[in-house]
Amino acid sequence: MGLVFASIAPHGSIAIAEWCTPEQRQLAGATRNAFAELARRFAATKPDVTVLLTPHHVHLEGHMAVVTSGAMHGVLEGGASRVELKATVDRDLANATKRALADGAVPAIGVSYGANDPAGSVMPMDWATQIPIHFLGRDLPIVVITPTRDLSWRMHVDAGRAIASAAAASGKRVALIASCDHGHAHDAKGPYGFSPRSKEFDDRVVDLVKRNALGELLRFDAAFVAEAKADSFWQMLMLHGAIGDRWRAEFLSYEVPTYFGMLCASFTPPD
């Protein structure tokens, strides 16, 4: 029991073929193929619940957020078709994770939406949750956690350890997904302009994954991370805290189909 599967997965909408226009379907082919492989590996581990780390849900100053609503609902629009997803929330594991974070001195707050009774509320689902879950465990309950850049990098590693501890105590088979898009300044015509730091950051992350060395993220320079315009760094720190350095990493894909980098990787626990 506990963590049985882990991955870094992207959250660009172009990963979902039915969302794309015919022109867009020519993009992100490597990512779609890697998602198919991730889905196969995910299913083989037979998880009971998915814990997902997202940079695009509720942002709380100085606190991580743990969704405690009874369900989440997401809709991707603006593409060739409307893509919808609803998932139940494993409130027992969500609340246990919130307590584990507090026990590890990581500030965290439970969040819900709408109904005054969290169990009956439906939280809007952000795209960085919906897109990985579209491929990985769409019929399973989920727990969604948002990092915060106000907290130290070390505290994000500690948060990962707390997540793993809660998973181990749950008696459930738990999959962990770090939802990550990487450098966002690969294209001068993109919304973040161009910075050579985006490619440098992505190249270093690819190297760390291939060498199974996520712990070296702690050696990065803060200004370098900021200039790279990545929204992956904090979730990867949490992933590292959760799985340590004994899991086997396998790089599956990396590409820059538009202005941001998309990477797929799987992590297998030691025998």
Look at residue 271 in the predicted model and tell me its pLDDT: 82
Contacts for 96-99 with beta carbons within 8 Å, 24 or more apart? 96/166, 96/169, 96/170, 97/51, 97/66, 97/143, 97/145, 97/162, 97/163, 97/166, 97/167, 98/66, 98/68, 99/166
Q: Over its length of 271 residues, how does the chain's per-residue pLDDT go in tens digits? A: 899 999 999 999 999 999 999 989 889 999 999 999 999 999 999 999 999 999 999 999 999 999 999 999 999 998 999 999 999 999 999 999 999 999 999 999 999 999 999 999 999 999 999 999 999 999 999 999 999 999 999 999 999 999 999 999 999 999 999 999 999 999 999 999 999 999 999 999 999 999 999 999 999 999 999 999 999 999 999 999 999 999 999 999 999 999 999 999 999 999 8
Closest CA to 96 of 177, 180, 4, 167: 167
Cβ distance 7 to 36 under 8 Å? no
**Domain annotation for the chain: domains and CATH numbers:** 2-268 (3.40.830.10)
* Model pTM score: 0.97
pLDDT given for residue 1 in this prediction:
87
CA distance 23 to 234: 33
